[in-house]
């Protein structure tokens, strides 16, 4: 499509590329000039495309335009690495643009989008570019087919300006009769899926080493996904469902059925359903060079468990690498995911990625892995359990390490509207523009209106006594359900994996009494709605300079509207945990004053070290010390637990216009 500048839009103004005739693919060669004239009329700007010596794309083009693209397929990985290398290797931005223009009409669109995004994120000379959101480019990955059809119809019939948003019905993949369906609002949340997509863009497991090798990326793979599961489980408990069960019996039928309602606009076909009681099958797909059987997956698993229990892994030359107290989890993350940083991929394999492949091949020859599918969570619950087994082998934190002498947390209050220590949740409707990812004629914005969870803004009010000289601390805020699915009190060894991180920030403590106030929207976990759906909100003016946002990185961050779980109409009881740890043991000396540094808990900070020296998930990442069986017994004076409730109000409010 010669009209869409693929990565340099300036506001709403249309621009066209002046494409060298050699760049047009054959089917456009004859009509190229007319096309250009037709779209050129509307264009405010013509962008010259420099002609460069073009690399051979033959191997990359083995993945056809209409094929689906999955990084979990080794052959696709190799292809994506080649394309990333090509984009990374371009001498300057002009050459890169030229290459991108050339590739765009030839290369598989998902692959193109992925490789170019990775390159733009990592090239030093493209740090200021703005990109359209992935959701805008590929709405079919996120939105129900029926809604897309309606949107297309609206665009065809109704002129721009008079179009009304198409409402996405809530819970579109099944009826409420099916239990698992109660969680659809979470699994199908577009913001959650965008966060996950961006996370994997920022932390690819494959590609040039300098891109993959980011500070503690293996550990963050473990922690970010651990938190997704913890959050999913809390939502499940709010909906009277028990925690998700690990998918461990790989030879047994899978009871969960799944009926995706998404169609691929690229592949022009729908994703097939998985009926109940399907079984994993050995894979042998020549076309994708995938050959693996379940036995192999089991072999990898056994080797990894063996490494965990002996505390050492072997590299490819047979040398022992110890899984140490702090760095072991990072090595293990790279082994299990696996990434190219795994010290021995031939031996420990590629268990997590292949699990996704096996599961998606059951019903989906296009091997997508859907975050909206319950089995996705069951698989990651298994993966998390492997990590937890390792954490179980580590020394427990002793009291001396957990406490902060002279620092006492006297009280914690959450203030929202109404009763203190009550979080209030409800449904909210928001509009996003889909037009970039769909071929509308005439063009212009088409909005869809979707319904998502939301909470009222709140503030933490924390009273801290410091009996010593002024000093700094890290305030860590977590929350977990107060009881298990049967309503019984927890053993901390079980409750600890249920804690979801809400915030982490540095505090300056004066001598004596301190009052710490912190607003919910400052959370180090989340990004604001506007950032999740960048460029998508209704007619938001594009400000100069804002184009300098760093697209990919900035899109990583838990969606703020899902910070708090849904709760229940009666009020779901939770334990709010606050800890002030000694900043001397936490600090990482570096300048973190860079764009998009505000969602570091799950995403880190671009080009920086992870900004907290403690193990991720601290202090709940390990088993409690001997003699401690409950959360209360775990507490040292610098920690405090406040009982809170999450109250859900079943009404739908429109997002206020800003």
Residues labelled as active-site residues: 337
3-state DSSP assignment of residue 503: strand
Q: Between 220 and 641, whose beta carbon lies closer to ligand CUO?
A: 220
Asked if 206 and 118 touch (Cβ cutoff 8 Å), the reply is no
User: CB 355 → ligand CUO: shortest distance, Å?
Assistant: 8
Cβ at position 564, least distance to ligand CUO in Å: 22
- To the nearest 10 degrees (0 to 180), the angle between helices 328-337 and 351-363 is 30
**What's the rounded Cα separation, in Å, for the pair 595 and 598?**
8
248 versus 590: smaller Cβ distance to ligand CUO: 248
Q: Which is nearer to ligand CUO, 308 or 351 (CB)?
A: 351
Q: Which helix (H) or strand (E) holds 18?
A: strand 15-18
Distance CA 632, CA 639 (A): 10
Query: Shortest Cβ distance from residue 356 to ligand CUO (Å)?
Result: 6
Helix/strand/coil for 632: helix
Residue 83: CB partners within 8 Å, gap ≥ 6?
60, 103, 107, 111, 112, 115
- Report the interface residues with ligand CUO, using CB under 6 A: 196, 200, 225, 352, 356, 380
Closest CA to 3 of 54, 49, 39, 45: 39
Taking a C-beta distance cutoff of 8 angstroms, is the pair 343, 316 a contact?
A: yes
> Measured from the CB atom, is 99 or 121 closer to ligand CUO?
121
Shorter beta-carbon distance to ligand CUO: residue 123 or 200: 200
Using CA atoms, how far apart are residues 247 and 462, in angstroms rounded to an integer? Answer: 40
With tokens 């997508």, the residue in question is: 368
Question: Which residue from 393, 248, 219, 397 is spatially nearest to 306, judged by alpha carbons?
Answer: 393
In whole angstroms, the minimum distance from the beta carbon of 170 to ligand CUO comes to 24
Q: Cβ neighbours of residue 117 under 8 Å, at least 6 residues apart?
A: 131, 134, 201, 551, 552
Instruction: Please state, in angstroms and rounded to a whole number, the distance separating the CA atoms of residues 216 and 331.
Output: 9
Rounded Cα distance, 109 and 115, in Å = 10
Q: In the bound complex, what is the minimum distance in angstroms from residue 148's beta carbon to ligand CUO?
A: 25
The minimum distance between CB 93 and ligand CUO, in angstroms, equals 31
What is the C-alpha to C-alpha distance for residues 270 and 368, in angstroms, rounded to an integer? 12
- Residue 202: CB minimum distance to ligand CUO, A: 12
Nearer to ligand CUO, 39 or 203 (CB): 203
What phi and psi, each to the nearest 5 degrees, are found at residue 49?
-110, 120
Q: Which C-beta is closer to ligand CUO: that of 475 or that of 603?
A: 603
- SS3 at position 517: strand
The Cα–Cα gap between 528 and 516 comes to: 22
If one counts every other C-beta atom within 10 angstroms of the C-beta of residue 634, the result is 21
- 3-state DSSP call for residue 218? helix
Pair 426, 649: CB distance under 8 Å: yes
Nearer to ligand CUO, 196 or 217 (CB): 196
DSSP letters for 93-118: HHHHHHHHHHHHTTS-HHHHHHHHHH
Q: For residues 98 and 339, which CB has a smaller minimum distance to ligand CUO in the complex?
A: 339
């Amino acid at each position: 499509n010669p009209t869409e500048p693929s990565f340099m839009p300036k506001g709403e103004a249309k621009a066209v590329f002046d494409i060298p005739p050699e760049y047009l693919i054959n089917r456009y060669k004859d009509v190229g000039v007319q096309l250009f004239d037709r779209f050129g009329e509307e264009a405010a700007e013509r962008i010259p495309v420099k002609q460069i010596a073009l690399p051979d794309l033959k191997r990359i083009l083995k993945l056809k335009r209409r094929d689906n693209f999955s990084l979990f397929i080794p052959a696709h990985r190799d292809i994506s690495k080649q394309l990333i290398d090509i984009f990374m290797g371009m001498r300057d931005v002009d050459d890169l643009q030229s290459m991108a223009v050339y590739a765009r009409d030839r290369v598989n669109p998902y692959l193109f989008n992925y490789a170019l995004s990775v390159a733009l994120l990592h090239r030093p000379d493209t740090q200021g570019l703005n990109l359209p959101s992935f959701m805008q480019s590929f709405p079919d990955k996120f939105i129900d087919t029926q809604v897309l059809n309606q949107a297309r119809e609206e665009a065809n019939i109704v002129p721009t300006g008079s179009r009304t948003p198409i409402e996405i019905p809530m819970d579109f993949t099944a009826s409420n009769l099916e239990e698992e369906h109660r969680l659809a609002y979470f699994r199908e949340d577009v913001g959650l899926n965008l966060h996950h997509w961006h996370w994997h863009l920022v932390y690819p497991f494959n590609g040039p080493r300098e891109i993959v090798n980011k500070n503690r990326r293996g550990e963050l793979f473990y922690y970010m996904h651990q938190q997704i599961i913890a959050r999913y489980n809390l939502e499940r408990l709010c909906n009277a469902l028990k925690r998700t069960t690990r998918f461990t019996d790989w030879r047994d039928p899978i009871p969960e059925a799944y009926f995706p309602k998404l169609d691929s606009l690229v592949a022009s076909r729908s994703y097939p359903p998985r009926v109940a009681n399907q079984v994993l099958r050995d894979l042998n797909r020549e076309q994708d060079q995938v050959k693996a059987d379940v036995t192999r997956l089991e072999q990898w698993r056994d080797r990894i468990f063996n490494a965990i229990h002996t505390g050492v892994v072997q590299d490819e030359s047979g040398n022992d690498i110890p899984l140490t107290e702090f760095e072991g989890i990072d090595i293990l993350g790279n082994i299990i995911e696996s990434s190219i940083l795994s010290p021995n991929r031939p031996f420990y394999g590629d268990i997590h990625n292949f699990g996704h492949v096996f599961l998606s091949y059951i019903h989906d020859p296009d091997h997508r892995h859907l975050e909206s599918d319950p089995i996705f969570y069951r698989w990651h619950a298994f993966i998390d359990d492997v990590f937890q087994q390792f954490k179980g082998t580590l020394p427990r934190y002793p009291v001396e390490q957990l406490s902060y002498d002279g620092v006492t947390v006297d009280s914690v209050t959450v203030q929202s509207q109404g009763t203190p220590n009550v979080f209030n949740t409800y449904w909210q409707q928001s509009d996003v523009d889909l037009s970039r990812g769909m071929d509308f004629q005439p063009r212009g914005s088409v909005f869809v209106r979707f319904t998502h969870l939301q909470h009222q803004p709140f503030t933490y009010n924390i009273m801290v006594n410091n009996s010593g000289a002024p000093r700094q601390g890290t305030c860590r805020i977590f929350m977990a359900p107060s009881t298990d699915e049967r309503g019984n009190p927890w053993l901390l060894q079980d409750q600890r994996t249920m804690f979801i991180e809400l915030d982490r920030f540095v505090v300056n403590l004066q001598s004596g009494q301190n009052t710490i106030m912190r607003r919910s929207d400052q959370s180090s976990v989340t990004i604001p709605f506007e950032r999740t759906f960048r460029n998508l909100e209704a007619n938001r003016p594009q400000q100069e300079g804002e184009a300098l946002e760093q697209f990919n990185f900035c899109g990583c961050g838990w969606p703020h509207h899902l910070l708090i779980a849904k709760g229940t109409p009666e009020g779901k009881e939770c334990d709010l945990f606050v800890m002030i740890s000694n900043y001397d043991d936490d600090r990482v000396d570096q300048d973190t004053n860079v764009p998009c540094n505000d969602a570091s808990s799950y995403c880190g900070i671009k080009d920086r070290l992870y900004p907290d020296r403690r193990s991720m998930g601290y202090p709940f990442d390990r088993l409690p010390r001997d003699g401690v069986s409950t959360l209360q017994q775990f507490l040292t004076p610098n920690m405090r637990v406040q009982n809170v409730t999450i109250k859900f109000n079943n009404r739908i409010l429109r997002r206020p216009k800003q």
